[in-house]
């Protein structure tokens, strides 16, 4: 089960220094151990991003501290140097503040995308270069491979249940050329088996499920502290213009939500209701029937293109792609197009509950191992069946 890894750097492994981003979990620990066993000059780096003790107002409730301890223990076990870098200020500015602002604007953001793009694959990659590293290596379940033109492409993990490409679409081409992801062809079970065989102390450590700076899952506490206007009350309005009730802040809602509406079990005249839009300017939560959730056109911003040629050429040609609009959903057929507001994705079949702030990621094909062609942030959608009353438009 313990196999050697080749980071595709050319020459002998001992001729290359690599930096491994060590989170304290089993995935990055296995990557560091395998790279060291292969003979690479490995330096482990852990980022101090957020003090969870401050987040929960409980002294000693610092999960990040435990992760740092675990990473240091693994580094000592496998015999590599280990450093902890304090990125708290940068993380707050580049990730937490943007997260809160997005919720206040009526969106449902993905802070992991910002963290990867703006911290791990920007600042940390710069640090790796400063240490003389030929590559930055992480424990993400994706792969990079050399393309015919010499660039490196980004590919989905073979194990679709573990695939993390949705959160990495914003990685730039220069960053990809220096990144390596050795776990792309492994399952989680394989990774844990390797950890046990090597004797790593984190072999049975549970995966983190929460957003790292929201350890108790109460993201609304963070948003309300930074953007109190997101907690201001407003109306819950039906698509037909009826005011059905009041809410305690748009930050508590997301497009597609049914539970927690506070409307007699989410019903109006026997009709199940869903959140179909959030109007931050008017502090309105717009609800309607399930069929009102279906969208066929998605407008994107902050688009990153990793495919062949240019994004403009792909849009002009109406390039066929497969897209994911939520991390847990399967890819759906679509075409890229240039619309009046910029980059558009036109879905072959309607997709329900597409939330602004989430990512729309492009793939070459629908299965595991597919090449990632890029993606962007969902700005807005066009309903498959326009039903919005002029009263709430």
Report d(CA 230, CA 237) in Å as an integer: 17
According to DSSP H, which parts of 131-240 are helical? Answer: 173-176, 188-198, 219-226
Task: Return the domain boundaries, the chain.
Answer: 14-139+182-198, 232-288, 295-383
> Which of 35-39, 80-84, 182-186, 260-264 has the least mean pLDDT?
260-264
Confidence of residue 61 (pLDDT cuts 50, 70, 90): very low
Going by DSSP bridges, is the β-strand pair 41-48/17-21 parallel, antiparallel, or unpaired? Answer: parallel
Number of residues written out for the chain: 393
Position 58 pLDDT exceeds 60: no
CATH of domain 232-288: 2.30.30.280
Which residue among 63, 212, 360, 379 is the active-site one? 212
For 3, phi then psi, to 5°, come to -115, 160
Position 63 pLDDT exceeds 60: no
Report d(CA 228, CA 101) in Å as an integer: 10
Is 106 in a helix, a strand, or coil?
coil
Q: Which residue's entry shows tokens 């991003």? A: 49
Q: Does 295-383 carry CATH code 2.40.30.10?
A: yes
Q: Residue 298 has which token pair?
A: 């998605």
| Average pLDDT of the residues in 72-93 | 94
Report d(CA 288, CA 276) in Å as an integer: 6
CATH of domain 14-139+182-198: 3.40.50.620
- Let me know if 115 is a catalytic residue: yes
| Average pLDDT of the residues in 285-306 | 95
pTM of the model: 0.90
- Let me know if 63 is a catalytic residue: no
pLDDT digits (tens, 9 = 90+) for 154-168: 999 999 999 999 999
Q: Which residue's entry shows tokens 């929201």? A: 214
Q: Binding site membership for ATP: which residues?
A: 21-28, 47, 139
Greater pLDDT, 64 or 308: 308
Which residue among 112, 115, 360, 379 is the active-site one? 115
Would you tell me how many other CB atoms lie within 10 Å of the CB of residue 272? 12
pLDDT digits (tens, 9 = 90+) for 226-283: 999 999 999 999 999 999 999 999 999 999 999 888 886 555 556 789 999 999 999 9
Would you tell me how many other CB atoms lie within 10 Å of the CB of residue 81? 12
Report d(CA 359, CA 61) in Å as an integer: 31
Q: Binding site membership: which residues?
A: 21-28, 47, 139
Report d(CA 330, CA 324) in Å as an integer: 6
Would you tell me how many other CB atoms lie within 10 Å of the CB of residue 208? 13
Q: Which residue's entry shows tokens 């502090």? A: 283
């Amino acid at each position: 089960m313990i196999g050697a890894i080749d980071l595709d750097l050319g020459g002998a492994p001992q001729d290359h220094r690599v930096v491994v981003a060590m989170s304290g979990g089993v995935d990055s620990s296995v990557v560091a151990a395998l790279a060291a066993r292969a003979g690479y000059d490995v330096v482990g780096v852990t980022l101090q991003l957020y003090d969870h003790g401050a987040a929960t107002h409980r002294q000693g409730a610092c999960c990040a501290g435990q992760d740092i301890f675990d990473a240091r223990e693994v580094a000592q076990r496998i015999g590599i140097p280990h450093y902890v870098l304090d990125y708290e200020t940068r993380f707050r500015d580049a990730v937490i503040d943007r997260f809160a602002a997005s919720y206040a604007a009526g969106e449902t953001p993905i802070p992991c995308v910002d963290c990867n793009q703006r911290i791990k694959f920007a600042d940390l990659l710069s640090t790796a270069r400063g240490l003389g590293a030929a590559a930055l290596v992480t424990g993400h379940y994706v792969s990079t491979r050399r393309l015919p033109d010499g660039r490196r492409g980004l590919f989905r993990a073979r194990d679709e249940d573990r695939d993390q490409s949705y959160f990495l679409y914003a990685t730039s081409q220069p960053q990809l050329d220096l990144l390596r992801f050795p776990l792309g062809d492994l399952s989680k079970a394989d990774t844990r088996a390797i950890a046990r065989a090597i004797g790593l102390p984190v072999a049975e450590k549970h995966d983190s499920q929460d957003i790292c700076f929201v350890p108790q899952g109460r993201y609304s506490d963070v948003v309300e502290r930074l953007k109190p206007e997101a907690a201001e009350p407003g109306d819950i309005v039906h698509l037909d213009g009826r005011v059905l009730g009041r809410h305690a802040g748009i930050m508590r809602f997301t497009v597609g939500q049914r539970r927690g509406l506070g409307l007699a079990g989410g019903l109006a005249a026997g009709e199940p209701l869903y959140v179909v839009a959030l109007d931050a300017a008017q502090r309105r939560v717009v609800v309607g029937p399930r069929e009102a959730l279906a969208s066929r056109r998605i407008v994107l911003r902050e688009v990153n293109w990793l495919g062949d040629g240019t994004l403009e050429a792909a849009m002009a040609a109406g390039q066929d792609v497969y897209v994911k609009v939520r991390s847990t959903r399967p890819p759906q057929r679509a075409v890229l197009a240039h619309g009046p507001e910029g980059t558009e994705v036109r879905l072959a079949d309607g997709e329900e509950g597409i939330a602004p702030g989430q990512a729309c990621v492009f793939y070459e094909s629908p299965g595991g191992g597919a090449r990632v062609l890029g993606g962007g942030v969902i700005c807005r959608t066009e309903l498959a069946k326009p039903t919005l009353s002029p009263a709430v438009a």
